[in-house]
Amino acid sequence: MEKVIDARGLSCPQPVVLTKKGLEESDQVTTIVDNDVAVENVKKLAKSKGCTVQVDEKEGAYYLRIAKSCDACQDAAEEKESVAVLITNNLFGKGDEELGKTLMKSFLYALTQIDNIGCLIFMNSGVLLTTKGSEVLDLLKAEEENGVDVLSCGTCLDYYDLKDRLAVGKVTNMYAVVELLASAARTITM
C-alpha cells in the first residue's frame, strides 16, 4: 500500500525524515514537496536506500514517487558501522548567530534519525549544548535514551564554569576523546 507524505512548507530535514519513516512502513511512498532543495534531498535519500524515484511537477508542487526496487533497499540488509560525532561549537558554521543556532538544532535533530551514531562528543563551546538552558536538551536526551553516548569535555565545562550545570550525558577527557575518535569506523567533526 502506498504511503503519501505531504511535506510542503516543511524545512530541512523534515521532508527527508518523514520520507525515511514512510519507507520503513511501506514499499511505495509519494512525498510531496514545494522546493528544489527538498526534491534533491529526498531523491538522495531514496537512491541511498536502493529505491527508484520518479519526480512529477504539478501546480508548483513536486511529487516524488519512491519504490523499493529490491530486497537490497531494506534497512536491515546491512550492518552499519558506528559513527563518532565531534561538536566543537554551540553554533553550526560561521556567520549569523541565530542561523547558526537554527542549523545546529536541525543537525542534531537529523542525527536522531540515524541509527548508527555511537557517540556525540562536545568540546569547547559545544558543551553549552549539553548544559541547563540549552535549546537542544530534548534532542540530546533522546539520543542518550537510544544508546548514544553523550560526552562533554571536563576541561571545557570547567573553563565555562558549567560543570554543575551538565544536564545530559557524562564528563569525559581529551585522552578518552582521542581514543573514541581513533576507534570509530567514521567520524563527523563540526
Q: pTM of this prediction?
A: 0.66
The answer to whether the beta carbons of residues 163 and 62 sit under 8 Å apart is no
Element of type H or E holding 109: helix 97-112
| End-to-end CA, the chain | 40
Domains of the chain (ranges plus CATH)? Answer: 2-74 (3.30.110.40), 83-189 (3.40.1260.10)
Residue 70 confidence (pLDDT): 57
- pLDDT the model gives residue 24: 86
The Cα 181–Cα 174 span in angstroms is: 10
Q: What's the mean pLDDT in 172-183?
A: 86
Q: List, for residues 106-157, the tens digit of each pLDDT value.
A: 999 988 888 889 999 999 999 999 999 999 999 999 999 888 999 999 999 9
Average pLDDT over residues 21-39: 88
What is the grid cell recorded at 106? Answer: 536541525
More confident residue, 80 or 86: 86
pLDDT, greater one: 41 or 177: 177
Tens digit of each residue's pLDDT (9 = 90 or more) over 63-81: 999 988 755 444 433 445 7
Q: How many residues does the chain have?
A: 190
Residues in Cβ contact with 186 at an 8 Å cutoff, skipping those fewer than 6 apart: 81, 82, 83, 84
Across the chain, what does the average pLDDT equal? 87
Report pLDDT for 119: 94
